[in-house]
Structure 1
Amino acid sequence: MPSSVSLSSVFSNGYPPHLPSYAVDNITDCDYTNVAASQREKNPWLQADLGTVLDVQQVLVYARPDGFEPGRTHNLLITVADNEKNHTCGFYPGPTDLGDRILILCNSLTRGRYVTLTIQSSPGEKDILQICEIKIHGRQ
């Protein structure tokens, strides 16, 4: 379980804010009221701080199941970093469909404290990163 989570920006636009903490609240069947979401921007990201350096084995991402703009999660790069090195865990080209679960298996040398999910925006495009839930599995 991450000790903290942050987003590149927080979507609100007149609605209650879509806080990064919603991505780690153990609710995998989220709706509009409890999804973590960024503003529309270039290369939006969500970063989970694991609190300590771990061998990250897998990252499971839950997409929104409620029917609001499926397909937003695409070109998703998952990286694991510590203070010295940045490792690629995996890439999901997408796009997601309603309620998809994306399982990314990291190689055995993927060690770090910070797990970051970034949409690699196409040139000239801006995206919204929406995450219902993330589960990160690792070991000391």
Structure 2
Amino acid sequence: MFFVVTVYMLAIFNQIQTSKGHDQQLQNVAYSKTVTLSSQYPDRGYEGWKAVNGIFSDLSHTGRERFPWLRIDLGANFFIHEIEVFARSNCFESQLHDLDVKVGNVTDSMHLCGHFTGYTRLGGRMAVFCPTPTVGRYVQIQIVKGDSNVMSPAEVLVWGKRV
């Protein structure tokens, strides 16, 4: 039984780390990395790390503010190819919309990688492809439209490779 569970867990880990739809050299370089939220939802249990834990059924959640953001520290510089943001699948798909995706080596000087306009659907995917070459240690996703927003992504995948 232990062997079966171990093999199953390794298969899940491999699926989160690599994708058949991407170049074999690209990996999800955000998996289990440090995440900072612009604010914290008042109820406990919605911490930033849940956006990079590989589990699509939980979520991270900011408090209500004008332009909430989520920032991932990749721990080193990577060539960034694509960022995928997945909406929660249970409700409130409108909480993920009009996103700017920025990449940078330092948090106070990030460059726009791309923009997603509009809303997603329940469990939907927003994908932003970065221009080549885009290199950075930090990836930031920010809602840039509206007066009062919360951000609650289920998962964020950052496809890249080490510099």
Q: TM-score range by the shorter chain?
A: 0.7 to 0.9
Question: 1:64: Cα distance to partner?
Answer: 0.7
Task: Confirm or deny: 8 A CA contact 1:87 1:111 kept in the other structure.
Answer: no
Equivalent residue for 1:6, pick from 36, 42, 48:
36
Equivalent position of 2:25 in the other structure: none
Equivalent residue for 1:18, pick from 39, 43, 46:
46
Equivalent position of 1:115 in the other structure: 139
The percent identity for this pair of structures is: 29
Moved over 3 A (4+): none
Task: Confirm or deny: 8 A CA contact 1:75 1:94 kept in the other structure.
Answer: yes
Supply the RMSD in Å over aligned alpha carbons. 1.4
Equivalent position of 1:133 in the other structure: 155
> Higher relative contact order at CA 8 Å, sep ≥6: structure 1 or structure 2?
1
Residues 1:75 and 2:98 aligned together: yes
Question: 1:26: Cα distance to partner?
Answer: 0.2
CA distance in structure 2 between the aligned counterparts of 1:109 and 1:27, rounded to whole angstroms: 29
Task: Confirm or deny: 8 A CA contact 1:71 1:94 kept in the other structure.
Answer: no
Letter of the 1:69 counterpart: F
SS across alignment from 1:94: strand
CA distance in structure 1 between the aligned counterparts of 2:159 and 2:129, rounded to whole angstroms: 10
- Any idea what the Cα deviations from partners look like across 1:35-67, whole Å, max 9, x if unmatched? 10100101100000011111110001111111x
- Any idea what the Cα deviations from partners look like across 1:88-120, whole Å, max 9, x if unmatched? 111111211111011111110211100000001
CA distance in structure 1 between the aligned counterparts of 2:59 and 2:132, rounded to whole angstroms: 31
Aligned residues: 131
How does the TM-score come out when normalised to structure 1?
Answer: 0.87
* Unaligned stretches of 5+ residues in structure 2: 1-28
Equivalent position of 1:103 in the other structure: 127
SS across alignment from 2:97: coil
CA distance in structure 1 between the aligned counterparts of 2:44 and 2:71, rounded to whole angstroms: 21
Larger Rg: 2
- Any idea what the Cα deviations from partners look like across 1:68-102, whole Å, max 9, x if unmatched? 22222111000001138422111111211111011
Residues 1:87 and 2:111 aligned together: yes
Equivalent residue for 1:62, pick from 73, 86, 98:
86
Aligned pairs for 1:41-52 (under 5 A) are 41-52=65-76
* Unaligned stretches of 5+ residues in structure 1: none
